[in-house]
Amino acid sequence: MRTYVLGLIANRLGSSALTLLIVSFAVFFATAMLPGDTATILLGQAATPEAVAGLRAAMHLDEPAFLRFARWLVGLLHGDLGTSYVNNVPVADLIGTRFVNTMRLAGITTFFAVPLSLALGITAAMFRGSVYDRVVTVLTIGIISVPEFMIATSAVLLFSVYLKWLPALSFASDATSFAQVLKIYAMPVITLTFVVSAQMIRMTRAAVIDTINTPYVEAAILKGASRWRAVLLHALPNAVGPIANAIALSLSYLVGGVIIVETIFNYPGIAKLMVDGVSTRDLPLIQSCAIIFCVGYLTLITFADIVAILANPRVR
């Protein structure tokens, strides 16, 4: 068993490294296809040929793009994310605090969203067809259908503009006391919980219903096991695989996909940083952000796979 899991992890790490390499190449070629470079973008309308040439030389952009990419890749192997073209600050410094912010927001959201979704999904499956199940289903489908900028903006209108309970902006650095942390994170976390929970609730409900329908659970119920016991002890272990995968997919969204929430609440996270990088064609920054998103995604998926294997009684 242990060798199997270790082998699986090793295999996963190997293919992850390969995926990362492929992703960085893909990002490089996609960036290279964008019109203009950092010098022309920074100069804008003032981009006369000699001004562009001068600025390119000053920023060392006159080397071939692929050479710069290769140099960045070698630097990465030494743990160096490179230096931003735009403001000459090490990319690690730019990402540093904003990555912490993103992880903090993702962590708090996970803390609320996962237990909530599991509870709602499992109970909805147990009382399938009941009024409760229908209410949960209608609400989750309703929430999936509402775009997150709508949820976020409505929340701001209600809690900040009319009730004046919460600040409309979420500056992570303002959080000095626990009460302030609550105030600052309340709305972004509510919005994101809405966005990620719906998917998890649906998947949990479907997976649990699938296993409830199997003959062995039926047998357990016939033998006199209570409904709770049948679902939690007999059905759930076999449903953990798909649930873990659904959770991983939903949470991976929190690492790099929360640009809308970051924009509306002015929360300084990493998604906005990458958008800035793209708009100024700042290759080291774009590459580093892409790698971070990719690592986050792969970690979550691998973790979900391992959980699924460990939880599955047949594999164990």
Q: Which is nearer to other proteins, 113 or 273 (CB)?
A: 273
The least distance separating other proteins from the CB of residue 266, rounded to whole angstroms, comes to: 5
Q: Which residues contact 208 (CB under 8 A, 6 or more apart)?
A: 121, 122, 125, 126, 231, 235, 236, 239, 243
Which residue from 62, 63, 66 is spatially nearest to 24, judged by alpha carbons?
A: 66
Output Rg (C-alpha) for the chain, integer angstroms: 24
Q: Which is nearer to other proteins, 167 or 237 (CB)?
A: 167
Helix/strand/coil for 186? helix
Which residue from 312, 272, 303, 264 is spatially nearest to 110, judged by alpha carbons?
A: 303
Helix/strand/coil for 311? helix
The least distance separating other proteins from the CB of residue 160, rounded to whole angstroms, comes to: 4
Please pick, from the candidates 92, 127, 268, 303, the single residue that binds other proteins as defined by CB under 8 A. 268
Q: Which is nearer to other proteins, 247 or 289 (CB)?
A: 289
Site string for other proteins, 213-252 (x = CB under 8 A): ----------------------------------------
Among 104-112, 122-130, 157-165, 234-242, the segment contacting other proteins (CB under 8 A)? 157-165
Site string for other proteins, 21-60 (x = CB under 8 A): --------------x---x-xxxx-x-x-xx-xxx-xx--
Contact between 164 and other proteins (CB under 8 A)? yes
Kindly give the residue spans of alpha helices, DSSP state H, lying in the chain: 2-33, 38-43, 49-58, 65-77, 91-126, 131-145, 148-155, 178-212, 215-222, 227-229, 236-256, 259-264, 270-279, 283-311
Site for other proteins in 81-120 (CB under 8 A): 84, 86-87, 89, 94, 97-98
Q: Which is nearer to other proteins, 53 or 315 (CB)?
A: 53
